[in-house]
């Protein structure tokens, strides 16, 4: 599989170049989906189409669960499945031209094999899984520190924090501070990098698949807010955290 993973990394870099070229032309076409802040652009669709057509050639009989183009549900997870978020943090891409990423999660018989979080503008890649290990910018990567809530930064989906869902105000007071980047993939990358102790959100499978595979391979926790396994089926309230912070949040 390592050869295939290398090919996937090459595809991600190619997709990143496509994104940068499109942004440079300054004619991003933005439309809304479920609400005025749920955005999709021509770039999201371009990246998903590019990745799907290339991955189809690379991995025979691959199935897809992906955010755009009506691929948002998959009942049969047998064989190999790629979960794709072509641009995670579309609002950031449109409004800031930074702080967004491309997310891929490869499953085999519904078991996470390898996740990829590619931060496009800074050209940083976190990838890996339970068999191959985890790599950050091509360096082998381990869990940094198992910090508790009191010793680190916590992050939230902004609605969860604004509306004080899941005692988020109380949790934020226990932590050393709060951060909200508006990009689930980068929040999960920051947990892997040791920059956050926890992230609480309400996510779809394509938002968490890559991060879950990588964080679990590092020995970190990604579960529903009641401590169950995420289902890969629809939106779920979830926690990604260091083992210590996860336990503290569950007991709070
Ligand atoms: C969104 C971002 C955001 C999270 C939302 C997601 P998108 O993804 O990850 O941080 O709070 O729930 O939908 O729409 O930019 O791919
Ligand atoms: Ca997206
Ligand atoms: Ca997303």
- Residue bearing the CA closest to ligand 1, atom 15: 89
Rg (CA), the chain: 17
Q: Which ligand lies nearest to the CA atom of residue 187 in the structure? A: 1
- Residue bearing the CA closest to ligand 1, atom 1: 89
* Residue 219 CB partners (closer than 8 Å, separation 6+): 143, 243
Choice from 88, 118, 155, 189 to test ligand 1 binding pocket (greatest atom count within 8 A of CB) = 88
Strands 153-156 and 133-136, sheet pairing:
unpaired
Beta bridge partners of 88: 101
From the CB of 85, is ligand 1 less than 6 Å away?
A: yes
pTM score of the predicted model: 0.97
From first to last of its 252 residues, the chain has per-residue pLDDT tens of 899 999 999 999 999 999 999 999 988 999 999 899 888 999 999 999 999 999 999 999 999 999 999 999 999 999 999 999 999 999 999 999 999 999 999 999 999 999 999 999 999 999 999 999 999 998 999 999 999 999 999 999 999 999 999 999 999 999 999 999 999 999 999 999 999 999 999 999 999 999 999 999 999 999 999 999 999 999 999 999 999 999 999 999
From the CB of 44, is ligand 1 less than 6 Å away?
A: no
């Amino acid at each position: 599989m390592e050869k295939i993973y290398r090919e996937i990394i090459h595809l991600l870099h190619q997709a990143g170049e496509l994104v940068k070229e499109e942004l440079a032309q300054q004619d991003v076409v933005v439309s809304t989906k479920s609400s005025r802040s749920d955005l999709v652009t021509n770039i999201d669709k371009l990246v998903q189409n590019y990745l799907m057509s290339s991955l189809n050639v690379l991995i025979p009989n691959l199935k897809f669960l992906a955010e755009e183009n009506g691929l948002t549900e998959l009942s049969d997870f047998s064989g190999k499945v790629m979960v794709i978020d072509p641009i995670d943090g579309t609002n950031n891409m449109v409004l800031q031209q930074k702080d967004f990423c491309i997310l891929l999660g490869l499953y085999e018989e519904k078991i996470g094999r390898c996740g990829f979080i590619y931060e496009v503008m800074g050209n940083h890649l976190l990838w890996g899984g339970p068999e191959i290990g985890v790599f950050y910018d091509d360096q082998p990567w381990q869990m940094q520190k198992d910090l508790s809530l009191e010793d680190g930064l916590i992050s939230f989906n902004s609605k969860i924090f604004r509306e004080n869902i899941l005692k988020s105000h109380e949790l934020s007071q226990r932590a050393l501070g709060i951060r909200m980047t508006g990009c689930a993939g980068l929040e999960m990358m920051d947990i892997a990098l040791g920059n956050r102790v926890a992230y609480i959100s309400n996510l779809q499978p394509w938002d968490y698949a890559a991060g879950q595979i990588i964080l679990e391979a590092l020995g970190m926790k990604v579960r529903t807010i009641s401590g169950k396994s995420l289902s890969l089926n629809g939106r779920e309230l979830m926690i990604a955290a260091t083992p210590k912070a996860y336990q503290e949040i569950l007991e709070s």
